[in-house]
């Protein structure tokens, strides 16, 4: 390892700590290390072992792919595998996720990556895409872009200001979790600039933030539930989450049931 590598890993660990708004004392307590040692690691006076990097990363809730990057900065090999979605190692998990999507029918369900790109979807999700421009449906299909673009779902979303505020808040939270991911920042800049839905979203009166969508048969009202895989051992799986939509009123349930 060259001398420049140590301060690089130290600076990155400090950046993640500050991103999580933790003091050195708070992080040291979480990771069960001394504040003195943590200070030495952050300033480059001490070279962290791979075990120490992973211990601090775990205490900071750093995503798996970023943990691999931290290890590389420290001069060590990545520890978390990153398989392709069609790799045989993931085949059983992906098949089970597909079963979950299908089981959610007749209500829409999507499998998304950490950039909100669609990995898979069930048949009912097609109801969300009616009238969207074909350019927006070219892979990779990004659901934030699709929802807020004026040639996407936006003209059919009855409560666009509320739904837009909800999605932008989720995006800001994801950026924070991923440590200021530049791709997510670019997506944030793009979708924030889309016209429509401006002004106050108002104070929500429903028990959950709803998606209210105009269709030829009348409005549909959904609330969404996001689910992640518990304790994944692969970078690819760590980035996936299920977004399922459930009817928010009896009329939507009746029409889709």
What domains are there in the chain, each with its CATH number?
Answer: 5-73 (1.10.260.40), 88-256 (3.30.450.20)
Rounded to an integer, the average pLDDT of 142-149 is 97
The pLDDT tens digits for 147-190 are 999 999 999 999 999 999 999 999 999 999 999 899 999 999 99
Residue 6 scores a pLDDT above 50:
no
**What letter would DSSP give residue 87?**
S
- Classified as helix, coil or strand, 123 is helix
Residue 2 scores a pLDDT above 60:
no
Residue 252 scores a pLDDT above 60:
yes
Tell me the average pLDDT of the chain: 92
Structure tokens at 155: 């003209």
Phi, psi of 215 (to 5 degrees): -135, 170
Residue 218 scores a pLDDT above 70:
yes
The pLDDT tens digits for 22-48 are 999 999 999 999 999 999 999 999 999
**pLDDT of amino acid 196:** 76
Residue 32, by phi and psi: left (phi above 0), alpha (psi -120 to 50) or beta?
A: left
Structure tokens at 218: 């009348």
Q: How confident is the model at residue 198 (pLDDT cuts 50, 70, 90)?
A: low
**pLDDT of amino acid 213:** 96
- Beta strand extents in 97-165 (DSSP E only): 109-112, 118-121
Phi, psi of 49 (to 5 degrees): -75, 165
**pLDDT of amino acid 202:** 53
d(CA 190, CA 3): 39
Rounded to an integer, the average pLDDT of 128-143 is 94
Rounded to an integer, the average pLDDT of 222-250 is 96
Structure tokens at 122: 């069930």
**pLDDT of amino acid 7:** 64
The pLDDT tens digits for 83-115 are 999 999 999 999 999 999 999 999 999 999 999
Residue 210 scores a pLDDT above 60:
yes
Q: How many whole angstroms from its chain centre is CA 188?
A: 13
């Amino acid at each position: 390892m060259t001398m420049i590598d140590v301060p690089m890993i130290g600076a990155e660990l400090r950046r993640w700590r500050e991103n999580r708004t933790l003091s050195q004392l708070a992080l040291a307590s979480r990771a069960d290390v001394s504040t003195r040692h943590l200070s030495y690691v952050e300033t480059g006076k001490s070279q962290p072992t791979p075990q120490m990097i992973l211990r601090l990363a775990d205490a900071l809730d750093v995503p798996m792919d970023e943990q691999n990057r931290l290890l590389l900065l420290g001069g060590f090999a990545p520890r978390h595998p990153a398989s392709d979605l069609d790799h045989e190692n993931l085949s059983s998990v992906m098949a089970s996720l597909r079963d979950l999507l299908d089981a959610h029918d007749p209500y829409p369900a999507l499998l998304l990556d950490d950039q909100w790109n669609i990995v898979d979807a069930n048949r009912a999700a097609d109801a969300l895409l009616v009238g969207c421009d074909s350019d927006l449906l070219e892979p990779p299909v990004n659901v934030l872009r699709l929802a807020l673009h004026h040639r996407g779902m936006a003209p059919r979303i009855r409560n666009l200001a509320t739904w837009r505020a909800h999605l932008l808040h989720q995006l800001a939270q994801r950026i924070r979790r991923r440590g200021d991911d530049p791709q997510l920042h670019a997506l944030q800049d793009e979708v924030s600039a889309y016209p429509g839905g401006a002004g106050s979203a108002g104070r929500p009166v429903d028990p959950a933030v709803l998606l209210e969508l105009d269709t030829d048969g009348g409005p549909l009202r959904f609330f969404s539930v996001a689910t992640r895989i518990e304790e994944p051992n692969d970078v690819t799986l760590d980035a996936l989450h299920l977004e399922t939509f459930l009817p928010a009123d009896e009329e939507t349930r009746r029409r889709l049931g």
